[in-house]
Structure 1
Amino acid sequence: MTAMDDRPLEAGALISELEGHLLIEATRAEGRAEAARFTRSLAWLTDSQREEVEARFQENYLALTRLSWERTAQRGRELRAEYEERYRSLRRRLCAGFLFGAALVLAAAVVTTVSSG
């Protein structure tokens, strides 16, 4: 149970949320490292300018990464929809083929029975 309400915790949702937090924190660390690497090449910056450039770099890095994640998630949803539609189509064709085959076997059995009798 959560501390805020009486709903039971769902393990999958909790794990997903934790993974999300860890991913964002790792991305922030990457952004900080890249910002520091970038500003090291700008030796003429004052300390306050360096801090401002690093802060803006980190913000942009996180925004671009988030946009990339959103695009990847959107493409994943699109692919899932395409694959699900393809699966349904193949399943319909398979069922139709099976029913057609069963009808042929039944018709052959009827013809054989009528011919024998």
Structure 2
Amino acid sequence: MTAMDDRPLDPGALVSELEGHLLIEAARAEGRAEAVRFARSLAWLTDTQREEVEEAYVDNHLALARRSWERTARRGRELRAEYEAAYHALRRRLCTAFLLGAVVLAVVTLGSVGTR
């Protein structure tokens, strides 16, 4: 139970949320490092301008990362739906073949019992 309300804790949700925060922080750190490298190449910037450029670079980096993650998640959902549809179709075929085989076996068995 949480201290804030009576809902039970969901460990999977907590882990997912933690992973999300860590992923965002890693992307932010990566963006900051790239921003510093980029801003260093612009030696003519003042300190204030350099800070503004770095901040804009980090914001753009995070926006790009977010769009990339969203595309990846969307594609993952699409693939999951495709694989589930293929799985269900194969399962239907297998069940149909099994039932057909059972019927054929029953007919053959009953036919051989009737001829004795």
TM-score by length of 2: 0.97
Q: Which residue of 1 aligns with 2:102?
A: 102
Unaligned runs of 5+ in 2: none
1:59-87 deviations in whole A, cap 9, x for unaligned? 00000000000000000000000100100
Counterpart Cα distance in 1 of 2:58 and 2:4: 33
Q: Does residue 75 of the first structure (1) align with residue 71 of the second (2)?
A: no
Q: Secondary structure at the match of 1:9?
A: coil
Counterpart Cα distance in 1 of 2:12 and 2:44: 49
1:46-61 equivalences under 5 Å are 46-61=46-61
Q: Secondary structure at the match of 1:44?
A: coil
Tell me how large the CA RMSD over aligned residues is: 0.7
TM-score by length of 1: 0.96
Counterpart Cα distance in 1 of 2:76 and 2:86: 15
Q: Which residue of 1 aligns with 2:40?
A: 40
Q: Which residue of 2 aligns with 1:13?
A: 13
1:17-47 deviations in whole A, cap 9, x for unaligned? 1111111111100010010011111111111
Q: How far apart are residue 4 of structure 1 and its match?
A: 2.0
Unaligned runs of 5+ in 1: none
Q: Secondary structure at the match of 2:115?
A: helix
